[in-house]
Homo-oligomer: A and B are copies of this chain.
Amino acid sequence: MFYLKDLPTDQTLEEISKRYHELDPSALKTCAALLRTGSDLLTAFENILSRHDLSQGRFLTLIMLNRTPDKAINPSTLAQKVGVKRATMTGLLDGLEKKGLVKRLAHQEDRRKISIQLTVVGKDALDKMLPDYYSRIAQLMKDLSENERQNLNSLLKKIDQGLILFKE
């Protein structure tokens, strides 16, 4: 969940904007729709992943390792790339290691560091589930033309831009 299931109607938005003059109805409408769709999208993915006993975080960690399956990566950069805190990555790796999907390797030079690598079991698990996963994504987007996809990308980029200011 990260946004209302019951999005406000145009009429409701108009009503509320009478009480709060700062409210821009069409801005809120679009913003809410974006959060709603994102929420549903994530839930759908999580449902698929849960069948494989994976959370979004654990899956994304595997995906990131699978970009360069033969190179080992240390937890810090992994955390950064996945978008979680280092402490969270420790937990994700604990789970993945317990399932035998990744292994922790000592680092030669710097004894603070460790390296994470996909195991053969981990690679196989990904190779088994990714075809289905990717084809679902292709299916999901099939009604959007190449043009529409690019259009959507550039609209999202404008919002990303707006988000920079937002942080103050």
Contact = CB atoms under 8 A, between A and B. Distances in A.
Contacts of A40: 160, 163
A12 B81 CA distance: 14
The majority secondary structure among interface residues of chain A is: helix
Contact of A31 (B22, B39, B141, B160): B141
A140 B27 contact: yes
Contacts of A54: none
A1 interface: yes
Interface string A90-127: 00000000000000000000000000000000000000
B83 A141 contact: no
Contacts of A52: none
Contact of A161 (B42, B56, B143, B155): B143
Interface in A24-77: 24, 26-31, 33-42, 44, 47, 56-57, 60, 63-64, 67
A42 B56 CA distance: 17
Interface of A: 1-6, 8, 12, 16, 20-24, 26-31, 33-42, 44, 47, 56-57, 60, 63-64, 67, 80-84, 130-132, 134-144, 146, 148-153, 155-163, 165-167
